[in-house]
Chain A
Amino acid sequence: MGGESNGQVIFKAIDLKKYFPLRRSLKEILTFSPGRFVRAVDGVTFDIRLGEVFCLVGESGCGKTTTGRMIARLLEPTSGKMLYKPTQETLSKVPPKYVDKDGYVDLSQKLPKRIDKLLRQEIQIVFQDPFGSLNPRMTVYNILKEPLIVHNIGSSEEERREIIYRALSEVKLTPPEQFMERYPHMLSGGQRQRVSIARAMILRPTLVVTDEPVSMLDVSIRAEILQLMLDMQASRNLAYVFITHDLAVANYLCTRIAVMYLGRIVELGPTDLVINNPQHPYTKALIAAVPEPDPSNRFKIREVPIKGEVPSAANIPPGCRFHPRCPYVMDVCKRDEPPMVEVEPGHFVACWLHAKH
């Protein structure tokens, strides 16, 4: 866990943005004021390598889910690029004019339906809520059959049954025949999350976005789901984007961590470096705030070096968006957005303390 992954880069996000329009007040309409936006994701750049668990962490509302949904192509970016390198098998079916010289397909271009479907099959998502994300009226069998039908997998019902059987065994819902005919309400939270994972994995994706997959589960069963995810990665060639607000889980599971604040990545690097040698004042504060099961902690005040709370994404401060809360704020911070700087190999920080000005 958290080891080095030297896999090839299969996904690149370049200056990705997603703005949601805010409802305008009557006054704004009458005075023809320009529409205002929630800048949910405001220019993020990162790449994802085969074999790694790439983690997006940050507090509520920082844009993790929005980023994940763009990667899984459930949301159209407002601007920016997403480049994806398909498997050899899929690549052989994509006309060369859609592929760049390094083998990446720009997902923002208009693609033929057939090709688009093949690419979508390779990028899947597991949602946070094991209660809301499964159709309550469908049996487990039908929930898993649906993606097979959509993507024309399996030529007969028998063959599909066989695939579903294997998918359920893989997520350890065994014996599978006992689970196939159940409805979601007849499953525990952990079992439901296994069905969600099976549904994402049944299409044999190479990139899987998992949005807080264990945060609604009881602590005592979380590790089992995390281990299942790691086992599936070991037996297949795939990459995870793991979304979480829990730094301890990120530390346990992830190869690299990207820390988000108000729609931007403020720090990115290998897990050990980000956790043990954090450089951005926000990352430092986040880490200081995490409680640990050590009873001597009750005799100390936990010093968290930042004040206040995250401002609204509809009202992002100018310059460095963290500056109103930063203990090291300088003049330049209030004026200019800090660039991403590589402070040690693979470790990037967006903070004026680390950039020339």
Chain B
Amino acid sequence: MLEVKGLRTYYFTLKGVVKAVDNVTFSLGKGEVLGVAGESGSGKSTLAWSLMGYVPPPGRIAGGQILLDGEDVAKMSEDELRRKVRWKKVSMIFQGAMNALTPVFTIEDQMAEPFIIHMNMTKREARERIVELLKEVGLDESFLRRYPHELSGGQKQRIVIAMALLLNPELVIADEPTTALDVVVQAQIMNLFKKIKKEYNISMIFITHDLSIIAEIADKVAVMYAGKVVELGTSEQIFLNPQHPYTQGLLKSIPKLRSKEKISWIPGTPPNLVTPPPGCRFHPRCPYVMDVCKRDEPPMVEVEPGHFVACHLISRR
């Protein structure tokens, strides 16, 4: 359904070119959920914006393909994107969107807009569909007439999720959709995503820095580091058999509630993306660094079916 090949999205800033997404390749089937994990600044949101054809300036897609049902989104004009892709095929829950609802509009007015614009629906038809969707996300009709400030954080997030589903997209991208929520509400929202995944058979890209949240929903996981996907595989492969030193370090740094396992950390900090380290971008923090790591970029190697790793430890094996 979605095939991303060698995607490069760069920000052309005065201080230099920020290679926020650099040569990223993955694919996603119908009904599959891909989790994208990575630390702050690793390029997760930039990747998401690229898929919507929506990169904020001074950024733009500098190379690669985004094939959506065979058509290349990266090559489409703004007009084509608007007519064919955005919200209809691909919709997005933006990072922090629940706090960006327009304060002066009722929930009904905010939600009806895309129907009236994109689908030429009447207000009445739009309302019926909205009520249906509200029900789907666990809210009743009374929310139609409410304003955003009258809603709790969890309720606002439900509205934002409903809005992403409005036009029956094939792919929903959710960028940190639970990060600002408390743990109980987070669990409720994750249950809602699980229900949507099951009922709609929709594809999703689920972006978060929190690997535990990824484990709650994702069938496949892409681990990003400094603009690159360093490891890609099924959830089982990534969580139970991680191969890249970064993925291994990240998993070991998560404290667990149900065990007292000692946690560790990855020394140092992620690099700046204007002048990333040569060779493997992770090499200054890698416990296994070799000479070749400082010199050559490691290729993506398939270590078992569907499990890809970009690390010289693997490619030299």
Contact = CB atoms under 8 A, between A and B. Distances in A.
Given A220-B250, A223-B265, A251-B260, A291 B239 contact: no
Interface string B177-219: 0000011111110110011000000000000011111111111
B154 A309 contact: yes
Contacts of A275: 257
B307 to A, nearest CB: 13
Interface residues of B, number: 52
Given A222-B253, A222-B265, A298 B183 contact: no
B152 interface: yes
A223 B216 CA distance: 23
A2 B217 CA distance: 31
A298 B239 CA distance: 13
B239 A59 contact: no
A247 B183 contact: yes
Contacts of A164: none
B184 A297 contact: no
A218 B270 contact: yes
Nearest to B240: A295
A277 B183 CA distance: 19
Given A295-B236, A302-B190, A188 B269 contact: yes
B216 A298 contact: yes
Interface in A273-288: 275, 285-288
B154 A218 contact: no
Interface residues of A, number: 45
Contact of B188 (A189, A220, A286, A304): A304
B194 A301 contact: yes
B254 interface: yes
B255 A252 contact: yes
B215 to A, nearest CB: 5
A115 interface: no
Given A219-B254, A294-B239, A2 B260 contact: yes
Contact of A290 (B33, B152, B195, B257): B257
Contact of B254 (A189, A227, A293): A293
8 contacts: A218-B209, A220-B265, A245-B182, A246-B255, A252-B255, A291-B212, A293-B251, A293-B256
Interface of A: 1-2, 59-60, 188-191, 218-224, 226-227, 245-249, 251-253, 275, 285-295, 297-298, 301-302, 304, 306, 309-310
Shortest 8 CB-CB contacts between residues of A and residues of B:
A295-B235, A289-B187, A291-B212, A223-B265, A59-B182, A252-B255, A224-B265, A220-B266
